Amino acid sequence: MKLPGSLKTTLNFQDADAFYEQLLDAHQGLNRDQSELLNARLILLLANQVGDAEILRGCVDAAAKLPA
């Protein structure tokens, strides 16, 4: 899928495995509602770090089009 603008589509993590482990650990022991709330808070914090409305719009559009 071609993403708009300058969205990064290649691996851009300094340590993807460590981040994934940290994410899994953060969800440990949470029920579904708590886990979804954690994801929502994380999304908002990361979106705030990106800041660029065009890039955020492109990310939302791209995520909505990805297969489930």
Instruction: Taking residues 26-46, report their average pLDDT.
Output: 98
Structural domain span for residue 51: 30-68
65 close to 2: Cβ distance less than 8 angstroms: no
The answer as to whether 64 is a domain residue is yes
The answer as to whether 61 is a domain residue is yes
What is the count of structural domains for the chain? 1
The answer as to whether 38 is a domain residue is yes
The answer as to whether 4 is a domain residue is no
The answer as to whether 35 is a domain residue is yes
Task: Using the Cα atoms of residue 42, residue 40, residue 38 and residue 27 in order, give the sign of their dihedral.
Answer: negative
Q: What was the pLDDT predicted at 23?
A: 97
pTM of this prediction exceeds 0.85: no
**Phi, psi dihedrals of residue 27, rounded to the nearest 5°:** -90, -10
Strands (E), 1-68: none
Q: What was the pLDDT predicted at 49?
A: 94
Which range scores top for mean pLDDT: 5-9, 27-31, 58-62?
Answer: 27-31
| Res. 4: pLDDT tops 70 | no
Separation of alpha carbons 62 and 68, rounded Å: 12
